[in-house]
Amino acid sequence: MKTIVGTLIVMLLPALALGEGRPVAPNGIPLIEGYRNWQVIAPSYRDDKGHIRLIFGNGTAIKAMKEGTRPFPDGTVMAKVAWTAVKHPKFPVATIPDRFVQVEFMVKDAAKYKATGGWGFARFVGENLKPYGRDAGFVQECFGCHTPVKGNDYVFTGFASVP
Amino acid sequence: MKTIVGTLIVMLLPALALGEGRPVAPNGIPLIEGYRNWQVIAPSYRDDKGHIRLIFGNGTAIKAMKEGTRPFPDGTVMAKVAWTAVKHPKFPVATIPDRFVQVEFMVKDAAKYKATGGWGFARFVGENLKPYGRDAGFVQECFGCHTPVKGNDYVFTGFASVP
Ligand code: HEC
Ligand code: HEC
């Protein structure tokens, strides 16, 4: 019995060590907690998918956004959250978020993620935050789609500014 | 000369005292600074107007949103910012913010703003943040439109949550 418990603990250790119980993407990036309290870079809307989105940045990301620093410094993290878009029940011309769809991250580490422009990609899908991708190769899909904005360090979103 | 300068200072004092140089709405509410760094409550999209929006909350607002407190406590401030919505030049199915249109505030003070559900309303338009409204009566337009959500303390927007 003692041996079985011991074996189970040893088997679980890597997962716990990496993600501390959080879901982990196939390339080893765990879900980054607390992003919902970060400052927002901008909203976006996809009528083809019927999604409304927020792009958040950690402190390093917001500073780089405001100062126009490119490439983004190591330690930059951006999180993009998508919700299904619905009409407001009391004011139908307004489109608002409904159900959580997914959260995606871009984590900057120029050396570690050299093969994909210095960015580590991760996506977690649905209420259960299921890690996206069969294996670490899933990042090619992300990187491929972000290549048209290589000139902006692979980032689509700009800071939505106010006077 | 001394008298003229003195008279000018006395004339300018009320404006400075109220808004510290910031624009002031006809009902006396000055532009509230720093709201762009607040946490975001939710995005919204208006295809009839071609606007994309963010609704921000100060600390009191975010706490009340997360805990579901109604009516919102005194000191709650929400800011809604509208930008014109454009297609992303590198990815046209994504709709993103372009030019700043306006910022609107709702400030909770149950006693002070008793006549309008406990909320003080203010709107500032365009890059120059021109106060909206000919006189203090402009708030009837705001209050009227927010009355369908009286049951939610006159607030349309809910917190866009994540798992
Ligand atoms: C089909 C194209 C496409 C694919 C595939 C794609 N992205 Fe993006 N991504 C975009 C666009 C366009 C934006 C701009 C915001 C928007 O449209 O909502 C974006 C924005 C982002 C952002 C916010 C920072 C920025 O660049 O604006 C993150 C984070 C992100 N994507 C992560 C990912 C991850 C992780 C994957 C893969 C698991 C991925 N993306 C795959 C098109 C794509
Ligand atoms: C034509 C209807 C209408 C009028 C007039 C109106 N609002 Fe609103 N307001 C809305 C709707 C609908 C929302 C929900 C978010 C959205 O649609 O963008 C909202 C949201 C807001 C919010 C965010 C908090 C919330 O209730 O969701 C603020 C702040 C706000 N309005 C301020 C004002 C001010 C200030 C005025 C007047 C100067 C005003 N509104 C006039 C319809 C209106």
A157 within ligand 1 shell (Cβ under 6 A): yes
Instruction: Establish if B162 belongs to a structural domain.
Output: no
Residue pair B76/B60 in contact (Cβ under 8 Å)? The answer is yes
The whole-number pLDDT of residue A20 equals: 62
Helix/strand/coil (H/E/C) assignment for every residue in A63-107: HHHHHCCCCCCCCCEEEEEEEEEEEECCEEEEEEEEEEEEEEEEE
Judged by DSSP in three states, B15 sits in: helix
- CA–CA min distance A3, chain B (Å): 36
Query: In the predicted model, is pLDDT for residue B115 greater than 90?
Result: yes
Burial class (CB in 10 A: 0-12, 13-18, 19+), A66: middle
Question: What are the tens digits of pLDDT across the range B117-159?
Answer: 999 999 999 999 999 999 999 999 999 999 999 999 999 999 9
pLDDT for res A35: 98
CA distance linking residue B107 with residue B24, whole number of Å: 14
CA atoms B78, B83, B86, B90: torsion sign: negative
The pLDDT value given to residue A47? 86
Q: Which of A42, A81, A96 sits opposite B97 (nearest CB)?
A: A42
User: Beta strands A91-108 and A77-88: pairing type?
Assistant: antiparallel
pLDDT for B11 equals 47
Structure-derived torsion over alpha carbons of residues A146, A152, A156, A160, reported in degrees to the nearest 10: 170
- Total beta-carbon pairs less than 8 A apart between chain A and chain B: 109
pLDDT < 70: residue spans in chain A? 1-20
**Domain CATH for A97:** 3.50.70.20
Percent of chain B with pLDDT over 70: 88
State the burial class of residue B131 (Cβ atoms within 10 Å of its Cβ: 0-12, 13-18, 19+). buried
Chain A residues whose C-beta is within 8 A of a chain B C-beta are 35-37, 39-40, 42-49, 52-54, 81, 83, 85, 88, 90-91, 93-97, 100, 103, 127-129, 148-149, 156-158, 160-163
pLDDT computed for residue B2 by the predictor: 47
How large is the ipTM?
0.91
Q: How many domains does chain A have?
A: 1
- Which of B156, B160, B163 is opposite residue A88, by nearest beta carbon? B156
Inside any domain, residue A89: yes
What's the whole-number mean pLDDT along residues B66-85?
A: 98
Give the model's pLDDT for residue A8.
Answer: 46
Q: What is the pLDDT of residue B60?
A: 98
Span from the CA of B81 to the centroid of ligand 2 (angstroms): 10
CA angle B85, B89, B93 (to 5 degrees): 65
B68: left (phi over 0), alpha (psi -120 to 50) or beta: left
Contact A126, A101 (CB under 8 A): yes
Q: Which domain holds residue B129?
A: 22-152
Among A89, A82, A57, A87, which residue's Cα sits nearest to residue A72?
A57
Is A163 part of a structural domain of the chain?
no
